[in-house]
Amino acid sequence: MPLMEDDVLSKIYYCMERIIVFDGIDDVLQHVVKTASSLTASDAATIRLFNLQTGKLDIKAGIGLSSDFLAQPPLELGEGIIGKVVQDCKEFISTDVTKESHCSQKDLAQVEGINSILSVPLKNKEKAIGSLSIYRKSSKAFTDSELLLMSIFAAQAVEAVEKTNQLESLKKQAIFDQLTDVYNRHYVIKRLDEEIKRANRFNHPITITFIDIDDFKKFNDKHGHLLGDKLLKDFTQLIRKGLRKNDLLGRYGGEEFLLVTPETDKEGAQAIANKLLALTKKYSFLGCDGDVTGVSFSAGISCYPEDGTTSEELIDIADKAMYEAKKRGKKSVVLSGKQITA
How far is it, in rounded angstroms, from Cα 171 to Cα 316? 29
Quick check: 286 and 295 in contact, CB under 8 A? no
Secondary structure class of 184 (helix, strand, coil) = coil
Quick check: 305 and 208 in contact, CB under 8 A? no
Quick check: 249 and 239 in contact, CB under 8 A? yes
**Neighbouring C-beta atoms of residue 101, cutoff 10 Å:** 4
Checking 2-5 for CB contacts under 8 A at 24+ apart, the result is 2/145, 3/40, 3/143, 3/145, 3/146, 3/149, 4/145, 4/148, 4/149
What Rg value do the Cα atoms of the chain yield, rounded? 28
Q: How far is CA 156 from CA 90, 256, 326, in A?
A: 17, 44, 57
In sequence order, which ranges of 242-298 are alpha helices (DSSP H)? 266-282
Quick check: 284 and 217 in contact, CB under 8 A? no
Q: How far is CA 158 from CA 17, 125, 131, 147, in A?
A: 14, 10, 10, 16
Q: How far is CA 25 from CA 29, 95, 99, 160, 258, in A?
A: 6, 31, 34, 9, 31
**Neighbouring C-beta atoms of residue 189, cutoff 10 Å:** 18
Identified catalytic residue from 91, 112, 146, 255: 255
Q: Is 17 a catalytic residue?
A: no
Maximum distance among all Cα pairs of the chain, rounded to whole angstroms? 84
> Rounded to the nearest 10 degrees, what angle do helices 225-241 and 216-223 cross at?
130
**Neighbouring C-beta atoms of residue 213, cutoff 10 Å:** 21
Cite the active site residues.
Answer: 255
